[in-house]
């Protein structure tokens, strides 16, 4: 079986990691790709932590298929983490082309929520100051440029969103 890549993108605080965490026990046939980040993972994440100097060394040696810098941290996806079969990867919107240029079967799921819901989630997470949250909410993103885009509204109560997300992933696994 070829590699199938399901990219998860969306605003920080939209619930990407929460949705992915809920899927892990349901889908033993999916490779949930872990990111390398220069920030320690919180309770909702399952990432590898790297010091900035180690990240830079790996980046310059071509260890990552995709890497980016956002919100004061570096993020990367290792080439070796992509397996045959279905791979789900949470990435920056700006890095979609890294995967579309390397793999034939790439689907991008854009996780969205209203600004009000996003504000509450960011405040609850408490990683940023009120000013940083305000700045984040004022950002406007350009239309996503990707071959196969699926928008997923994550504004429903958590259990309902998780069920709808599971259905979406099951349907993509069958394609």
As averages over each run of 10 residues, the pLDDT of the chain (175 residues) reads: 90 86 90 93 78 96 95 94 96 95 96 83 78 74 85 93 96 91
Domain encompassing residue 24: 3-34+83-174
**65 lies in some domain:** no
Its pTM stands at: 0.86
C-alpha–C-alpha distance, residues 38 and 15, integer Å? 20
**135 lies in some domain:** yes
For 146, other C-beta atoms within 10 Å of its C-beta total 18
> 């045959």: which residue's tokens?
84
**139 lies in some domain:** yes
What is the number of domains present in the chain?
A: 1
Burial class (CB in 10 A: 0-12, 13-18, 19+), 61: exposed
**Domain containing 107 — which CATH number?**
3.40.50.300
**20 lies in some domain:** yes
**78 lies in some domain:** no
**23 lies in some domain:** yes
**118 lies in some domain:** yes
Task: List 37's β-bridge partners, or say none.
Answer: 49, 75
pLDDT score of 5: 98
Helix axis angle for 130-138 and 115-125, nearest 10°, is 150
- Is the distance from CB of 82 to CB of 65 less than 8 angstroms? yes
**121 lies in some domain:** yes
Per-residue tokens: 34: 């872990």
- Is the distance from CB of 122 to CB of 44 less than 8 angstroms? no
């Amino acid at each position: 079986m070829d590699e199938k890549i399901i990219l998860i993108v969306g605003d920080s605080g939209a619930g990407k990691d929460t949705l992915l965490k809920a899927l892990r026990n349901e889908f033993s046939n999916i490779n949930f790709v872990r990111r390398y980040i220069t920030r320690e993972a919180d309770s909702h994440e399952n990432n590898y932590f790297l010091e900035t100097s180690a990240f830079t060394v790996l980046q310059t040696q071509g260890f990552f298929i995709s890497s980016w810098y956002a919100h004061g941290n570096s993020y990367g996806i290792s080439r070796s983490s992509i397996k045959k079969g279905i791979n789900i990867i949470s990435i920056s919107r700006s890095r979609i082309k890294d995967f579309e240029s390397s793999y034939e079967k790439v689907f991008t799921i854009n996780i969205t929520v209203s600004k009000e819901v996003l504000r509450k989630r960011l405040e609850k997470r408490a990683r940023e100051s009120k000013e940083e949250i305000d700045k984040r909410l004022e950002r406007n993103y350009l239309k996503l440029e990707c071959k196969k885009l699926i928008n997923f509204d994550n504004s429903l109560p958590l259990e309902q969103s998780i069920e709808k997300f599971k259905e979406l992933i099951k349907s993509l696994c069958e394609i």
